[in-house]
Amino acid sequence: MILIGVGLALTILAFLQYALQPENEKAFEPIRLVTDEWAPYTGQSLPEYGVVTAIVTKVMHDVGFQPTYEFMPWSSGMKLAAAGERDSDLRGTFPYIDSRRSDTETSERSSYFYFSDSILSIELTAFYNKITFPRGADIKHLPDLAKHKVILLKDYDYPRALKKVVAAPKESQKYTNIQAFQMLANQGGDLVVIEALEAGEQLLEQQLPDLASKIAMAPLRVDLDVRLMLSKRNPNNFSLLKKFNNMLASLKQNQWAFRSLVTGVKRRIEISRAVELQPKNGESILIAYKDTAKRQGIALPRGTLALVKQWDQSFLKLQSLPLRTSRAMFKVKVLNGPASLVNELMFVDADSVMLRISR
C-alpha cells in the first residue's frame, strides 16, 4: 500500500511539473504549415507572423504541436500542402476564407483538404477610385456590384453570394492585390477591387502609400470566416482536425481571452510600424488637428506614438526644387496617451514634427 501510494504521488508530481512548465519549455511534436503574405493576418515580418498565425500557434500548442511556418505564394503553398502524406511533410495551409460552411463543403478544394472551424471572422469590402468614381460610395450591397467592373484577385476563392453577381473572369484576368490597386488608381473609371478590409487598408498604408489618397472603401461589408486546411492525404490529419477544432472552440469560449489575443497581436503589429511625433522646436507638446482645415486642435505630448495612415504626396514622389512642404500634413492614428485620444485619427503638420521610427 505504501509503495502504491508513493508511486501515485510521484505520478501526480510529474504531471504537475509538466502542467506548470512554461509553454515554451514543454515537449511539443513538430508540425509544418505553409501560409502566404497577407498582412495583418499572416506575414513573415509581422509580430507573431500575424493575427491568424498567432491563433493557429496558440491552438496548436494546446493540442501539443509546435508549428513552423513556411511562407510562399498561396497557389504554390496549397499544392505542396495538398501533396503532404507524412507527418514530416507540410500538413496544411491557411488562411482559407469563405462566407458559409456550405460554401467550403462544396468547394473543389474539399477533394484535397479538411477544413477547420472558423479561426477568425473578417470583413470583405469594395475599394474604388474616389476621384474618378465618387459613386463608389453608393456600393452598399452585393447586387450593387453587378453595375460595375469588378477586379477579382488571383488565388481567391470568393464566396458564392459574390460569384452570383460578378461574372467570373478567366484565371489570366485575375490579379494580385498590388496589381489590382495599381489598376484602380491608374485606370480609374468604375473599377472596383474586392479585398479584405484590413488587408487592403494595410496594403495601401505600407506598400502603396502614393495611391492611398485616391482610393476609398465602399460601405459594403461581407462577413467571412478564416479557416485552416489540412491535407486529406495524411491519415493523421483527420484526428488532428478534431483536436484542433475542440481546442479552438475552447479558446473562443472565453471571449475575453480570445479578444485579448487578437487585439494584442494587432496592437503589436501597429507598434512595430509606429513613429514618434516630436516637435522640431524642442517644446514639450505638438498640435494635432481633426481635419486639414485646422479648425480644431488638440495638444499631444512629445514622443506620442502614431501610425501614419496617409502620407502627404510631397513625401512620396519627386518634385521640382525648391520643395513646397509648408502645407504638408500627415494623417495619423494615435496609439498611446490619454484614453480619449487612443485610436483617434488626427492630422499633424509635417513642418512641425520629426518622425522617428519607434523601437
Instruction: Domain ranges for the chain, please list them.
Output: 2-120+227-272, 122-224, 275-357
Consecutive H or E run containing 255:
helix 255-272
Q: What is the pLDDT of residue 167?
A: 74
C-alpha distances (whole Å) from 352 to each of 41, 52, 103, 283, 324 are: 34, 38, 52, 10, 14
- Reference 348, options 317, 308, 321, 318; nearest CA is 308
Q: What is the pLDDT of residue 108?
A: 74
Q: What is the pLDDT of residue 325?
A: 61
- Class for domain 122-224, per CATH? alpha beta
Architecture of the domain whose range is 2-120+227-272: 3-Layer(aba) Sandwich (3.40)
Residues 6+ apart with CB under 8 A from 249: 117
The pLDDT profile of the chain, 359 residues, written as one tens digit per residue, is: 444 454 555 455 544 454 445 555 568 999 999 999 999 999 999 999 999 999 999 999 999 999 999 999 999 999 999 999 999 999 999 999 986 655 555 567 889 999 999 999 999 999 999 999 999 999 999 999 998 999 889 888 888 888 888 876 665 578 999 999 999 999 878 999 999 999 999 999 999 999 998 999 999 999 999 999 999 999 999 999 999 999 999 999 999 999 999 999 999 999 999 989 988 777 889 899 999 889 899 999 988 999 999 888 777 777 677 666 667 888 999 999 888 889 999 999 887 777 766 55
Residues 78 and 125: their CA atoms lie apart, in Å, by 25
What are the φ and ψ backbone dihedral angles of 176, each rounded to 5 degrees? -70, 165
- DSSP annotation of 250: H
Same fold, 2-120+227-272 and 122-224: yes
Cell numbers standing for residue 31: 508540425
Residues 6+ apart with CB under 8 A from 148: 136, 139, 190, 191, 192
Residues 282 and 272: their CA atoms lie apart, in Å, by 25
- Reference 113, options 85, 90, 89, 92; nearest CA is 92
